Structure 1
Amino acid sequence: MFSKLAFQNVRRSLKDYSVYFLTLTFGVCIFYVFNSMESQYVMEILLSANKGMIRVILQLIDVVSVFVSVVLGFLILYANGFMIRRRKKELGTYLLLGLDGGRVSALLFLETLLIGVFSLGIGLLLGVFLSQFISVFTAGLFAVSIPEFHFVFSPRALGKTLLYFGVIFLVVMLFNSFRVSRQKLIDLLRADRENQDLKLKSVGASVVMFLTGAILLIIAYAMLLVRGILRVDNLFFLMLALGTAGTLLFFRSLSGFLLKICQANKRLYYKGLNMFLLRQFNSRINSTYVSMTVICLMLLLAIGITACSVGLNNTVSAITAENAPYDVTVRFYCHGGDGAEPELEKWLAAGGFDPEQELAESVRFDIRQVELEPLTYSVGDREYTQTSLDAISLTDCNRLLALQGRTPLALTEGEYGLLWGTYMAEESFWKSLWADRPVVVAQGRALLAGGDVQAVVLTGDSVYSSMLVLPDALAASGTLSSRNLVGNYAPGIDPEQADERLAQAMGNLVPRDYDSGGNGYGYGWDSRVQIYLQTMGTKILVLFLGIYLGIVFLLCSAAVLALQQLSQAADNQNRYRVLARLGVEERMRDRSIYVQVFLAFFLPLALAVVHAAVGMTSANAAIAQVGRVDSAASSAVTAAFILVVYGAYFLATCWGSRRIIRGR
C-alpha cells in the first residue's frame, strides 16, 4: 500500500510538475552527451594526431562537469522546494490521518527515488540517442570521413552520470526529510492560504528608477564599445557594476513604469483584464526583481557564451581552411650538400606515392635565395640590414594563385612584387619594406616596386610565408633553398588513405640517404586533413565547452522562471476563482495567464538580448583581429538553442499554470 501510494503520487506529479521532470531529463541528457565525448569515433582519430590537445579538452570537460553538476544540484533543490511547498497541505493530511513524521519522510524518500530512476532512465536514453548525432556532427567539423556507422556508448559517462545525479538525489532526499521533520502540522494545513508578501511602491519612484537604470546601462554600453572586451582593469569591473546596477533598477522599476504608460492610455488600461494583469505583474515583480536580474544575467551568459563560441569556432575554421588551401604539400630543403637538385617526383614515385596518379592538379615550384644590395630598416630604436631574401618566380607565383582561385599578380620585367604570407604579414621587415617601396637591387639588377598579393605558399610552414616575386630569369639565378610540390587529390581518391601512402613514401626516403645528414636535403610534408587534425583542437574546445555551458545556463534560467510562475499560479488560484464568480470567461482568464508568463519569460530575455548584442559587437571586434567573424551563423545557432530549450519551458509553464489555476 505504501509503495502504491508513492507510485500514484509520482504519476500525478508527471502531469502537474512537468517542468520539474523536464529539467531533470534535460540535465541528465546534456551531462551524459558531453561526458561521452571521449568515446566518439572522431576523438579516437584526433588522439592519434593531437594527443595533448584532446586530453586537455577531455580534462576540461571533466572540470566543467563538476561545476555543471553543482549548478544543476542547486537547481534541482530549488525545483524540489517548489514541489514540497505545493504539497504541504497534502503532507499535513498524511500526518492528520495518523502517519508519523518518519513514515512521511520515507514516503518522500521513495517518491524521490522513483522520480530519480525515471528521469535518469529517460535522460540517459535521450543522451545515448543524441550522442549518435553528435558523433556525425563532430566528424563534419573536422572534415573526417566515418567509413561506417559507429554506435557511441560511453560506460565512463554512464558511470559519472549515475554517480553525480545519484549524489544529487540523495541530497534531495535528505533535504526533504529534514524539511518535513521541522514543519508543524498547523503550518502544513494552512500552507495554501499563505501568499508571498507583496511590496508596492509608488509609480513616480518607479519612473525615476527606470530612467536611472537606463542611464547606467547606456554608460556601461559606451564603456564596453569604446574600451573593448579584452581590457580587464578597474574600469572593466566598474563597467560590470554599472551594467548590473542598471539591470537591477530596470527590473525594480519596470512594472511601475509599464503601469504608468498603460494608465495614460485609458482605452488600453480598461480593456479586458489588462488592469488586473498589470496590477498582478506590478506586485510580483516588486518581490522578484532580484531573481529576474540574476536570470537576465544568466541568459546573457547563455547567449554570449553560445554565440561567441560558435563565432570563434567559425573564425578558427576559416583561418584553418585559409592556411591549408591544398590537399597536400611536400617540401625538400636544400642545405648546400653536393649541389644536386632533388628529383622530387621521382623519389616520391619510388617510395609508393606517384604524384601523376594521386594528384588531379599540382604545382611544382622552387624558392631561391637572391643576393641584394643592403636594405636597412628600423624596429623601434634599432636598425637592421638585409643582404639576401627568399624569392619566387612570377610564373610560379601565378600558378600558385591560380590553384588557390586567386587573381594573378601582374609585373613588368623591371619590377619586383611582394607575396604576403598569412603568418608574417605583420612582420616588421616586410611591413617596413613595402611601406617604403624602395628600389631593390637583386643579383645586381635594379627593380622598382610593383604589386603585392596575400596567399599561402606552403601549408603548415611559416619559414617561407612571405617573399619577393621576381621575373623568371632573375629568380632562377638565385641559390636553390627548397623544391616544393603542392596539389589536390584526384576525384575518387580517399584523402586519408592517400596521406598514409605519402607518409610511407616520405619515410622510405630516409634509408636512401636523402635526409639532411646525407646529400644535404631536409624534407617534410603536410596535408589538409593533417592540418585540420592538428590545429582544430581549439575549435572543439571552444565550441563544445561553449555550447555545454550555454545550454546549462539557459536551462537554469528557464527552469527558475518556470518554477516561479508555477508558484505564483498556485498563489493566484483564489483570485482567479473570484474572477470566475464575477463572470469572466475562461478564455479571458487563460489569456491573462499566458500574458503573465510571457512577460516573465521574455522581458529578461529581451534585455539579455540587448546586453548580448552590445557584448557581441565588442567580442566580434576582438575576434575580427585574427579572422573573419560569421555573425549570422552564431546568431542562428543561438536562436535555435533559445527556441528549443526556452520555448519548451515557456509552453510547459503556460500549460502547467493553466492546470493549476483551473484546479485540475
Structure 2
Amino acid sequence: MFFELVRRNSRRNRKENGLFFGSLLVSIIAFYIVLSLSQQDVMYFLREMESDAVNRLLEMIPVFYGLTLVILFFLIYFAGKFQMERRRHEFGMYLMMGMRRGRLFAMLLAEDFGGSVIALAIGLPAAVLLSELISLVTARVVGLGIIGHRFSFSPYAVALTAAGFLMIKLAAFLILSIKISREEIGSLLAERPEETKRQFPAAVYAVFLIAGVLGLGTAYYMAIRGISWSRIDRMAFTVVIGFAGTLCLFFGLRAVFGLIIRAGGKDRKLHVFNVRQLQENVIRQSSAMAVSSLLILAALCCFGAGIAMVRHYGDDEHILDYTFTAEYMDEENTSRKKADETMSTLRENGLAHEFSDFIEMKVGSVRTSDDPDDTYSMDVVMNLISAMPATEDRDILLNNLSYMTYPHLIALSSYNELLDAAGRPKIELGEKEAAVYMDTDVSTEALRQMMNEALTKRPETLLDRDPLYLTGEVQTTALVTVRSITLSFALILPDEAFDYYTQGEYNIFVDAILGNREESVSLMTAISEMNAKLNETGLEYESYLQNMGRQLFYTVATSYITIYLAVVFLIVANTVIGVQFLMNQQKTNRRYRTLIRLGAVYETLCRSAGKQINWYFGIPTVIAAVSSIFGVRALFTGILSSRTMGSVSEMMVVSAAMILLLCMIELIYMIVVKRLSSRYLLTLMVPEREE
C-alpha cells in the first residue's frame, strides 16, 4: 500500500509539474555534455595542437559545474517549495488520518528519489546521444571534414552528473521537509491568506522607473565604450549599477500598469482584472522577476555572443595543407636556395609524390626606395573613400589605409597558381596595373566592399613615384597556412614589376597541397601521418591543422561554455517565472472562484490567464532581449582582440538572429505554463460544497 501510494503520487507530481521535470532533464543533459567535454573527438585533436590551452579550459569545467550546482539548487528549492505548498492540505490529511511524521517523511523521500532516478534514467541516455551528435556537428563546423569518429562514453561524467544531481535534490528536499514537518496539522489544513505589500503613490513608481532606465543606460554605455573593462573597480561598479537599475525598472512598472488600466482595450472582458493581477504580481515579485530577467539576459548574451564567435572563427577557407617557411634574410637568392632545398629534401625522402601541387608564393617589399614613410601614395583612393557616406567602417578603412605607405608586394604568377588551385579565375594585369590583397583575418566584409567600390574607378596611385593603377576586386585567398603572416594590405604586381621593385630580394614560401586520399582517411589523420614523416626530415613547416588547432580552441571554448551557460540560465529563469505565476494563481484562487460564481465560464478564465502569462513572461523577456543587444556588444568590446574588432558588425547580425531564435524558446515555456494553468482552473470549476 505504501509503495503504491508513492508510485501514484510520483506519477501525479510529474504530470502536474511537467515544466519542472522537463527542466531537470535538460539540466542533466547539460551536466553530462560539459563534463564529458574531454572525450570529444575535437578535444583529442586539440590536446595535440594546443595542449596547454585545452588543459586550462578543462580545469575550468569543475568551476562551471560547481557554479551550476549552486544555481540549480535554488531552482530545485524554489520549485520544490511550490510543490510542498500545493500539497499542504494533502499532508495535513495524511496526519489527520494517523500517518506518523516519520512515515510521511519517508514517503516524500521515496517520491523525490524515485522522480530523480526516472529523470536520470531518461536524461543520461539522451545526454550521451546528444553528446555524440554535438561531437560530429562541431567537427563539421570547424572544417575537419569526415573524421574517424568513435563512440565515446564517459563513466566519470555519468557518475559526477548523477552524484551532483542527487546531492542538490536531497539537500533541497531535506530543507523543505524539515519546514513542513514542524508545522501543526491545523496550519497545514488551513488555507493561507493572500500576501499584501505596501502601496506607494504613482509618482514614486515613476521615479523608480526613470532611475532604472538611467541605471541600465549608464551600465551599457560604460561597457560598450570599454570603460568597464579597463579596471576591476569600474567593472564592479557597472555590474552593481546595472543590477540596481534592473531592480528599479521592475519595481517602477506599476506606473505603466496604471496607464494601461486607464487606456483600456477593445476587449474589455476581464481587462481590468488581468491588469490588476499582473500589477500585484509584479509588485509582490518584482525582485524575483528582475533576477529572472537578468538570467534571461545572461542566456541571450552567452548564446548570441558564443554563436557569433563560433561563426567568425569557423569561416576560414581551406585550400593549402602545408607551408614550408622561407629564410628571412636580405641576401640575394637566399630564399631561392631555401625553396630549392625544401623541394630537394622532399624528393630525397620520397615525400614529393604525396603532394598533388606545390606553389612558390613570392612575397617581398619595395627595395627601390629608402624612405618607408613615403614609398607608396594613394591619395585618389583616400578621396574616393572619403566621399562615401560617413560610417564607422569608412573611418576605420581610412585610418588603416593612412598607414599603408610601405606595402608588401606579391608576385602575380604565384597568386594565380594559388587561384588555380582554388578553382578560381586568374587575375590579368596590365603593365602599370596592380590588384589589392587584404587578408580576411584583419579586414571585414564591409571594409572590402568599400574598397571594391573605390577600385571600380581604377584609381591612380604612386609606387616609388611611379604611376600605378589599381583594378579588379580585392583578393582575399590566404597566401600561406602560417597564421602569424597576415597582410592587412598588399599589392599584387606583374612579375616584371615585382622583380623590379623587390630588386630580386624577396621571400619564397613553398605551399603544398596533399594528394587525393582515400575517403575512409580523414584530413586530420592524413595530415597527422604526414607530420610524423616531415618531422624526420628536419624541414620547417606549418600545417593547416596546426593553425586550425588555435582556431578550434576558440571555437570549442566559446561554443560549449557559452551555450552551456545559456541553457542553464534559460532553464532557471523560465522555470522560476513559470512556477511563480502558478503559485500566485493558486494563492489568489478565491478571486477565480468568485468570478465563477459571477458567471465566468472556463474558456473565459483560460483566456484571462493566457493574457496574464503572455505579459508575465513577456515583460522580463522583452526587457532582456532589448538589453541583450547592448550586452552582446559590451561583451565583444571586452573579449575580442583589436584585430577581430573589425568584424563586430557582422558578428552582431549573427548575434541578433540567435537572440531572436532563443526568444522563440520562450513561447514553448509559455505554452506549457498555459496548459498547467488551464488544468488548475478546471479544478476550480467544480462547485464547492457549502455546509
- What is the TM-score with the length of structure 2 in the denominator? 0.79
Partners of 1:209 and 1:250 within 8 A in 2: yes
Aligned length: 618
Letter in 2 for 1:643: M
SS in 2 for 1:364: strand
Aligned to 1:560: 576
State how far apart, in whole Å, the 1-side matches of 2:578 and 2:255 are: 23
Cα 1:627–1:486, aligned 2, differ >3 Å: closer, same or farther? farther
Aligned to 2:370: 374
Aligned to 2:285: 288
Letter in 1 for 2:16: D
SS in 2 for 1:485: strand
Q: CA deviation at 1:492?
A: 6.7
1:460-471 maps to which residues of 2 (within 5 A)? Answer: 460=482, 462=484, 465=487
Cα 1:641–1:220, aligned 2, differ >3 Å: closer, same or farther? closer
Letter in 1 for 2:296: L
2:554 is the alignment partner of 1:538:
yes
Q: In the TM superposition, what whole-angstrom CA distance separates every residue of 1:128-185 from its partner, at most 9, and x where no partner exists? A: 2222211211211232244566333211110111111121122133223421232122
State how far apart, in whole Å, the 1-side matches of 2:38 and 2:220 are: 40
Partners of 1:302 and 1:549 within 8 A in 2: yes
Partners of 1:105 and 1:176 within 8 A in 2: no
Partners of 1:299 and 1:557 within 8 A in 2: yes
2:639 is the alignment partner of 1:634:
no
State how far apart, in whole Å, the 1-side matches of 2:54 and 2:224 are: 35
Aligned to 1:519: none
State how far apart, in whole Å, the 2-side matches of 1:65 and 1:409 are: 58
1:584-663 maps to which residues of 2 (within 5 A)? Answer: 584-619=600-635, 623=640, 625-627=645-647, 629-644=650-665, 646-663=666-683
Cα 1:241–1:169, aligned 2, differ >3 Å: closer, same or farther? closer
Aligned to 2:156: 156
Letter in 1 for 2:651: D
Cα 1:97–1:327, aligned 2, differ >3 Å: closer, same or farther? same
Aligned to 1:582: 598
Partners of 1:411 and 1:450 within 8 A in 2: no
Partners of 1:79 and 1:560 within 8 A in 2: yes
Partners of 2:223 and 2:238 within 8 A in 1: yes
Aligned to 1:472: 495
SS in 1 for 2:371: strand
State how far apart, in whole Å, the 1-side matches of 2:142 and 2:261 are: 54
Letter in 1 for 2:370: P
SS in 2 for 1:363: strand
Q: CA deviation at 1:607?
A: 0.5
Q: In the TM superposition, what whole-angstrom CA distance separates every residue of 1:246-303 from its partner, at most 9, and x where no partner exists? A: 33233223234223233234x648x111121111111221111111111111111111
- Unaligned 5+ segments in structure 1 are 379-387, 426-436, 441-445, 511-521
Q: In the TM superposition, what whole-angstrom CA distance separates every residue of 1:215-238 from its partner, at most 9, and x where no partner exists? A: 444455555555576445666555
State how far apart, in whole Å, the 2-side matches of 1:201 and 1:337 are: 81
Partners of 2:29 and 2:127 within 8 A in 1: yes
Aligned to 1:385: none
Partners of 1:333 and 1:523 within 8 A in 2: no
1:245-644 maps to which residues of 2 (within 5 A)? Answer: 245-265=244-264, 268=266, 271-318=268-315, 321=316, 325-333=319-327, 342=340, 344-345=342-343, 347-354=345-352, 358-359=355-356, 363-367=359-363, 372=368, 374-375=370-371, 392-400=410-418, 408=427, 410=429, 412=431, 440=464, 451=470, 455=476, 456-460=478-482, 462=484, 465=487, 472-473=495-496, 476=499, 478-479=504-505, 481-487=507-513, 495-500=523-528, 502-503=530-531, 505-510=533-538, 523-527=540-544, 529-619=545-635, 623=640, 625-627=645-647, 629-644=650-665
Q: In the TM superposition, what whole-angstrom CA distance separates every residue of 1:68-109 from its partner, at most 9, and x where no partner exists? A: 111111211111111111112211222222223222222222
Q: In the TM superposition, what whole-angstrom CA distance separates every residue of 1:578-606 from its partner, at most 9, and x where no partner exists? A: 11111111100111111112211111000
Cα 1:188–1:59, aligned 2, differ >3 Å: closer, same or farther? same
Partners of 1:307 and 1:634 within 8 A in 2: yes
Q: In the TM superposition, what whole-angstrom CA distance separates every residue of 1:42-79 from its partner, at most 9, and x where no partner exists? A: 32233233322322222222221111111111211111
1:12-411 maps to which residues of 2 (within 5 A)? Answer: 12-147=12-147, 150-190=150-190, 192-226=191-225, 230-232=229-231, 237-265=236-264, 268=266, 271-318=268-315, 321=316, 325-333=319-327, 342=340, 344-345=342-343, 347-354=345-352, 358-359=355-356, 363-367=359-363, 372=368, 374-375=370-371, 392-400=410-418, 408=427, 410=429
Partners of 1:109 and 1:176 within 8 A in 2: no
> In angstroms, what is the RMSD of aligned CA positions?
3.7
Q: In the TM superposition, what whole-angstrom CA distance separates every residue of 1:483-536 from its partner, at most 9, and x where no partner exists? A: 5134475597753454256435534534xxxxxxxxxxx531422x34223431
Q: CA deviation at 1:577?
A: 1.4
Partners of 2:54 and 2:553 within 8 A in 1: yes
Cα 1:27–1:416, aligned 2, differ >3 Å: closer, same or farther? closer
Q: CA deviation at 1:23?
A: 2.3
Cα 1:448–1:316, aligned 2, differ >3 Å: closer, same or farther? same
- Unaligned 5+ segments in structure 2 are 375-405, 444-460, 685-691
Partners of 1:21 and 1:119 within 8 A in 2: yes
Letter in 1 for 2:543: D
Partners of 1:216 and 1:242 within 8 A in 2: yes
Q: Which moved more, 1:55-64 or 1:452-461?
A: 452-461
SS in 1 for 2:360: strand
State how far apart, in whole Å, the 1-side matches of 2:575 and 2:180 are: 24
Cα 1:338–1:297, aligned 2, differ >3 Å: closer, same or farther? closer
Percentage of identical aligned residues: 24
Cα 1:268–1:210, aligned 2, differ >3 Å: closer, same or farther? farther
Cα 1:296–1:447, aligned 2, differ >3 Å: closer, same or farther? same
State how far apart, in whole Å, the 1-side matches of 2:238 and 2:651 are: 27
Q: CA deviation at 1:449?
A: 6.4
Partners of 2:209 and 2:249 within 8 A in 1: yes
State how far apart, in whole Å, the 2-side matches of 1:225 and 1:399 are: 44
Q: CA deviation at 1:634?
A: 3.1
State how far apart, in whole Å, the 2-side matches of 1:407 and 1:210 are: 62
Q: CA deviation at 1:542?
A: 1.0
State how far apart, in whole Å, the 2-side matches of 1:339 and 1:149 are: 42
SS in 1 for 2:163: helix
Letter in 1 for 2:573: S
Partners of 1:598 and 1:650 within 8 A in 2: yes
Q: In the TM superposition, what whole-angstrom CA distance separates every residue of 1:417-458 from its partner, at most 9, and x where no partner exists? A: 886667899xxxxxxxxxxx8864xxxxx8566659675432
- What is the TM-score with the length of structure 1 in the denominator? 0.82
State how far apart, in whole Å, the 1-side matches of 2:336 and 2:323 are: 25
State how far apart, in whole Å, the 2-side matches of 1:389 and 1:259 are: 65
Partners of 1:91 and 1:188 within 8 A in 2: yes
State how far apart, in whole Å, the 2-side matches of 1:373 and 1:344 are: 31
State how far apart, in whole Å, the 2-side matches of 1:618 and 1:259 are: 34
SS in 1 for 2:324: strand
State how far apart, in whole Å, the 2-side matches of 1:92 and 1:242 are: 46
Partners of 1:334 and 1:482 within 8 A in 2: no
Q: In the TM superposition, what whole-angstrom CA distance separates every residue of 1:190-220 from its partner, at most 9, and x where no partner exists? A: 1x33322244444454345434434444455
Question: Greater strand share, 1 or 2?
Answer: 1
Q: Which moved more, 1:394-403 or 1:603-612?
A: 394-403
State how far apart, in whole Å, the 2-side matches of 1:139 and 1:555 are: 27
Aligned to 1:384: none
SS in 1 for 2:274: helix
Q: Which moved more, 1:255-264 or 1:155-164?
A: 255-264
State how far apart, in whole Å, the 2-side matches of 1:254 and 1:93 are: 41
